[in-house]
């Protein structure tokens, strides 16, 4: 079941969206909360960790874009519901699933929700998108990561991962085999499954395998295996360098 929230400063819009969902997607989507602004919307998201957000753009205490900027790692789909058509390009750039103008057309709304349902089912089928298994190889325990993309399943050892780079809700794995494997998960969730004393979060958008780090230079960059360059943020510098080089 998809957990959804409604964030719009007009109560009648929220009531209309709730009715449309209950009439057409009662078996797939449940509305767990409503909010009328940026601040209350953020509180709602942090409380319920929804899978889907129906989001207004212009609200009394800011915009829907302001809200999304305060959530750097998004684990939900966004459908914008707005009375203004000039923000569609920006909505695409922030990765919105859809952009619907008010008054909300029934068919257009159903198509948007169906896209969200399809996305959810892809990520929550019997095969987990990312799972960890342990293998014993020549007497030594080695952790293997199973990465599933839309059409391929990869089995790679942690030792073969050089670093990971985030791009919104997607993470790219860079490996010693020069493969770039893109999975539909934010970096925060990737960080949780990798060995924490080996993989170091050195930047908001990067995790590096310290076994592949060769040096750190004055430009604030880690030079790793195959001459890849991984940035270190000033906020994480002391922590990251201590974990990598101590």
Q: Domain-by-domain residue ranges, the chain?
A: 2-123, 160-245
Full-model pTM: 0.57
Q: H-helix or E-strand containing 119?
A: helix 106-123
pLDDT, tens digit, for every residue of 200-225?
A: 999 999 999 999 999 999 899 999 99
Does residue 128 have a pLDDT over 80? no
Looking at the domain 160-245, which fold is it? OB fold (Dihydrolipoamide Acetyltransferase, E2P) (2.40.50)
Same fold, 2-123 and 160-245: no
What number is the average pLDDT over the span 141-148? 79
Q: Which residue has the tokens 């924490």?
A: 196
Q: How far apart are CA 221 and CA 111, in angstroms?
A: 45
Q: How far apart are CA 98 and CA 78, in angstroms?
A: 7
Q: What is the pLDDT of residue 74?
A: 80
Q: How far apart are CA 58 and CA 2, in angstroms?
A: 25
Token pair belonging to 58: 């212009």
Q: May I ask the CATH class of domain 2-123?
A: alpha beta
pLDDT, tens digit, for every residue of 153-206?
A: 888 889 999 999 998 889 999 999 888 999 988 898 899 889 989 999 999 999
Q: How far apart are CA 190 and CA 168, in angstroms?
A: 13
Q: What is the pLDDT of residue 141?
A: 58
Share the mean pLDDT of the chain.
89
Does residue 140 have a pLDDT over 80? no
Closest C-alpha among 202, 220, 219 to residue 163? 202
């Amino acid at each position: 079941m998809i957990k959804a929230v409604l964030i719009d400063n007009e109560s009648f819009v929220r009531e209309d969206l709730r009715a449309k969902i209950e009439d057409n997607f009662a078996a797939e989507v449940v509305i767990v909360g409503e909010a009328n602004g940026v601040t209350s919307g953020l509180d709602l998201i942090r409380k319920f960790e929804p899978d889907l957000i129906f989001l207004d753009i212009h609200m009394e205490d800011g915009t829907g874009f302001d809200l999304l900027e305060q959530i750097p790692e998004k684990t939900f789909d966004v459908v914008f519901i707005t009375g203004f058509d000039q923000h569609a390009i920006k909505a695409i750039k922030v990765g919105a699933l859809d952009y619907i103008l008010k008054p909300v057309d029934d068919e257009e709304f159903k198509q948007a929700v169906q896209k969200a349902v399809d996305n959810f089912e892809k990520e929550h089928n019997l095969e987990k998108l990312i799972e960890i298994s342990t293998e014993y190889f020549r007497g030594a325990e080695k952790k293997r990561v199973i990465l599933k993309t839309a059409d391929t399943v990869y089995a790679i050892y942690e030792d073969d991962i050089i670093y990971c780079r985030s791009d919104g809700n997607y993470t790219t794995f860079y490996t010693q085999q020069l493969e770039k494997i893109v999975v539909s998960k934010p970096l925060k969730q990737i960080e949780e499954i990798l060995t924490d004393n080996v993989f170091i979060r050195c930047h908001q958008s990067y995790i590096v395998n310290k076994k592949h780090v060769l040096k750190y230079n004055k430009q604030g960059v880690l030079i790793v295996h195959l001459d890849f360059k991984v940035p270190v943020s000033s906020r994480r510098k002391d922590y990251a360098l201590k974990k990598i080089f101590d």
